[in-house]
Amino acid sequence: MTAANKPLSAEDSLIARYFKPLATDPGAFNLDDDAAALKGAGEDIVVTTDAIVEGVHFLPNDPPDTLARKALRVNLSDIAAKGATPAGFVLTLALRGADEAWLKPFAEALGADAAHYGCPLLGGDTVSTPGPLMISITAFGRVPQGKMIHRSGAKAGDRVVVTGTIGDAALGLDVLKGGVAAGALVADAGARDALAARYRVPQPRNALALAVREHASAAMDVSDGLAGDLAKLCAASGVSAIIDVPSVPLSQPASALVARKVVGFDALITGGDDYELLCAIPDNRLASFTSAARRAGIAVTAIGGIIAGSSPPSFLDGQGRELTLQRLSYSHF
C-alpha cells in the first residue's frame, strides 16, 4: 500500500554499486546489515552531525564531487576541533532520483576523502525527496576517555589562535554568485578559482587534532564566521576576548580585495564556511602548539587574547578602535 514503483533491487543495487566500496571498515559489515558497530576500545566516541541543503548550504550547480567532499569535511572539521581521530561516518542522502551521472562522481570523491582522512563509511540511508538535495553526515572520532576538547575551557590569558586564512570561503561564495568580489576579480581567473575552491572544498585541519588535544584549553571550528564562533566559544567558557583584526590571517586575494576596499574586514570575519580551527592556547603552550602545527604543515596565527569578563569579544582595528559588526555570523532562521 505504500508507493513502490520499482522492484526491491533498484535501491539496493544502486547503494551496493556506489557505496559498498567505501565501507572498508569491518564494523560496516559491507553495508549488508541494519546497523554498524564501532568497536569498543575504551576510548570515548566523539559524535558530530552536519547537514548541507541545496540552495542553502551549496549552490544547485555545485559539482557532485565537491559536494561529497564538503559534506564529509565539514564534519571532519568538527572532529579535528575536538582533538579526535576520525573513526567513520554514516550518510543520509535525500535525492530526487537515482541519477547515476551524479552518484558516481559523488561516491568516488566521498571514497577518496574517506580514505585520505581515515574515516570510512559505516552505513547510511538513501531516501527520495521531491525537494532539494540534502546530504546529512554523522561522523565519529575517538579520543582517550574524557579528553575531548570543548568550547568551554578558555581562560583569561590564553592566546586566540586560528589556522589557515579567514574569509576566503565567503569571498568564494560571492564569486560564484557573481557578487562584488566576482566583479573586482573579473580579470583574475586564478584568484576567482582559488576563492571558489575554498568555498566548495574546505580543508579540515585533522592533521592538527593531536596538537589541539595536547595544548588547547578550548577549541571549535569556524563554520559560521570567526566573530560569531569566537563569541560562542567565549560564552561557553565564561570569558571575553580582544582580537587584533590586522593580525587575522588573510589569503593574498582576500588581502588585495580589502586593500582595494572591495570588501571590508567585517565581511571576512563574519562570512562563515571557513572550516579553520579556532583555539584558545595557554601562553606557555603556544610555542609547542606552533611547532606541532609547523610539523603538520598547517599555518597557525595568534590573533588576540582571552580576557576575563562576559562582554562579547572586541575586534580592534590597527588604531585600536573597535569594529562595529552588523551581524556576527550566519543564522538559519
Contact 158/240 with Cβ under 8 angstroms? no
Sole window of 65-73, 79-87, 280-288, 316-324 interacting with its own copies (rule: CB under 8 A)? 79-87
Q: Which stretch binds its own copies (CB under 8 A): 144-152, 208-216, 245-253, 313-321?
A: 144-152
Residues 185-214 that bind its own copies (CB under 8 A): none
Binding track over 38-57 against its own copies, x by CB under 8 A: xxxxxxxxxxxxxxxx-xxx
220 or 290: CB nearest its own copies: 220
Binding residues among 274-313 for its own copies as defined by CB under 8 A? none
Residue (of 185, 326, 182, 198) closest to 264 by Cα position = 326
Please report how close the Cβ of residue 314 comes to its own copies at its closest, in angstroms. Answer: 16
Task: Sketch the per residue contact string, 310 through 329, with its own copies: x for CB under 8 A, - otherwise.
Answer: -----------------xxx
From CA 293, how far away is CA 212, in angstroms rounded? Answer: 9
CA distances from 131 to 92, 95, 136 (A): 15, 8, 15
What's the min distance (Å) between Cβ of 240 and its own copies?
16
Rg (CA), the chain: 21
Rule CB under 8 A: say whether 269 interacts with its own copies: no
Q: Give 7 or 318: the residue with its C-beta nearer to its own copies.
A: 7
User: Which of 64, 111, 141, 202 is in the footprint of its own copies by CB under 8 A?
Assistant: 141
For its own copies, which stretch binds (CB under 8 A), given 31-39, 59-67, 104-112, 246-254?
A: 31-39
Contact call for residue 222 and its own copies (CB under 8 A): no
Contact between 248 and 302 under an 8 Å Cβ cutoff? The reply is no
Rounded to whole angstroms, how far apart are CA atoms 58 and 196? 12
Closest CA to 74 of 162, 137, 149, 134: 137
Nearer residue to its own copies within complex by CB, 115 or 127: 127
197 neighbors 172 (Cβ within 8 angstroms): yes
Answer left, alpha or beta for residue 320, where phi above 0 means left and psi between -120 and 50 means alpha: left
In the bound state with its own copies, the residue whose beta carbon lies nearer, of 109 and 195, is 195
What part of residues 236-255 is at the interface with its own copies (CB under 8 A)? 236
Distance between CA atoms of residues 237 and 240, nearest Å: 8
Phi-psi region of 33 (alpha: psi -120 to 50; beta: other; left: phi over 0): beta
Q: Does 258 bind its own copies (CB under 8 A)?
A: no
